[in-house]
Amino acid sequence: MGIKLDGKKVAQKYQEEIRRFIKLKKDKGQKVPGMANILVGNDSGSIYYVNNQNKLCNKLGIDVRSIFLEENIHEDNLMNIIRKLNCDDEIDGIILQLPLPKHLNEAKITSEISYKKDIDGLSNLSTGKFYKKEKCHMPCTPKGIINLIKSTEFEIEGKYAVVIGRSNIVGKPIAQLLLNENATVTICHSKTKNLKQICKNADILVCAAGKPKFITKEYIKEGAFVIDVGTTMVDGKLTGDVCFEEVIEKASFVTPVPGGVGAMTTTMLMKNLCEELK
Ligand code: NAD
């Protein structure tokens, strides 16, 4: 029987560190980090994330400015708002909530964010620096995952890691972070053949397909570290990719949904905000 890895508990440790860092700044009369989050339109998921970010900022003593924009905003206007924030000394981190409405070019607009303020790590410059192992802000979900694994005694080096999913925000960057830790990494996706066979050999299995409960115990190697990134609403309940109850019988660690990876993501955003890039 494995261990249910409590993401909330690990996130709280990071939040304590951030709170101490902010308090020290305040005590010394220094400027507290400031964050701007931009929401275009009224996507319900994005509203939920902005509210979560704002709650955590308030809890940690971080200054936050929320900018709500009309769904039909012209691309040039949005670019100008970002350019102004890039030059605003009160703002150290900018988050543009995704997805953007269809008429807006996501790659172009996220890349307008100065890489020093790109605390989501999604601009082209941040991405290039990330894969070249240069100083930059890491994407928050993969950063949360790697820190979750590191919060345990589990050794990553030399292990065989399998990542299911190849998106730019989860699959590819977590594969890179595992590689940086000297794991041997395979990335699987919707066209992969023999997925079960590949997963069965994994010492570390990261599931980020967004397919509820499709990873059963037959996919799991005895003692594997299983990270469930998937979040899909099923009958009003947030559901992961992993059949938690049966997988934990075989694995050494499993992250639950909710309360696993998701619990780390916003905290990693705040950690990025406090890690100033020169
Ligand atoms: P995505 O849709 O961009 O990517 C899904 C990936 O899974 C694709 O690369 C696809 O090839 C692969 N895939 C789909 N079906 C598959 C199958 N049957 N077998 C193998 N691979 C398959 O999604 P994403 O943005 O990477 O997010 C993945 C999941 O993680 C979603 O459920 C999302 O909601 C969740 N997520 C959670 C957090 C968090 O903080 N908890 C953050 C980001 C994403």
Q: What is the share, in percent, of the chain residues with pLDDT greater than 90?
A: 96
For residue 276, what pLDDT is reported?
87
- CATH topology for 140-262? Rossmann fold (3.40.50)
Whether the predicted pLDDT of 48 surpasses 90 = no
Residue 120 token pair? 């989501």
Cα radius of gyration rounded to whole Å, the chain:
19
* Average pLDDT score over the chain: 96
Q: What is the share, in percent, of the chain residues with pLDDT greater than 70?
A: 100
Whether the predicted pLDDT of 34 surpasses 90 = yes
Closest CA to 229 of 194, 265, 179: 265
Cα 2 to ligand 1 centroid, rounded to whole Å: 24
Cα 167 to ligand 1 centroid, rounded to whole Å: 7
Cα 190 to ligand 1 centroid, rounded to whole Å: 10
CATH 3.40.50.720 domain residues, the chain: 140-262
C-alpha–C-alpha distance, residues 23 and 86, integer Å: 25
C-alpha–C-alpha distance, residues 100 and 171, integer Å: 21
CATH 3.40.50.10860 domain residues, the chain: 29-114
For residue 277, what pLDDT is reported?
86
Which tens digit of pLDDT belongs to each residue from 80-108? 999 999 999 999 999 999 999 999 999 99
Question: Which residues sit in the known binding site for NADP(+)?
Answer: 165-167, 231
For residues 150-169, one letter each, b for 16 or more C-beta atoms within 10 angstroms of the residue's C-beta and e for the rest, the string is ebeebebeebbbbbbbbeeb
For residue 278, what pLDDT is reported?
75
Q: Ligand 1, atom 24: nearest CA belongs to which residue?
A: 167
Distances (CA, A) of 83 to 51, 110, 114, 124: 24, 11, 8, 16
Whether the predicted pLDDT of 44 surpasses 90 = no
Closest CA to 66 of 92, 43, 90, 94: 94
Which tens digit of pLDDT belongs to each residue from 224-264? 999 999 999 999 999 999 999 999 999 999 999 999 999 99
Beta carbons within 10 angstroms of residue 134's beta carbon = 11
For residue 171, what pLDDT is reported?
98
| Residue 45 pLDDT level (bands cut at 50, 70, 90) | confident
Residue 78 token pair? 């949005």
Cα 106 to ligand 1 centroid, rounded to whole Å: 18
Residue 42 token pair? 């009224």
Closest CA to 190 of 216, 224, 167, 220: 167
Whether the predicted pLDDT of 53 surpasses 80 = yes
- CATH topology for 29-114? Rossmann fold (3.40.50)
Q: Ligand 1, atom 6: nearest CA belongs to which residue?
A: 165
Question: How many Cα atoms within 13 Å fall on the side-chain side of residue 18?
Answer: 26
Q: Ligand 1, atom 34: nearest CA belongs to which residue?
A: 231
Q: Give the mutation target among 190, 198, 228, 255 for probing the ligand 1 site: most ligand atoms within 8 A of CB.
A: 190
Beta carbons within 10 angstroms of residue 177's beta carbon = 24
Q: Ligand 1, atom 40: nearest CA belongs to which residue?
A: 262
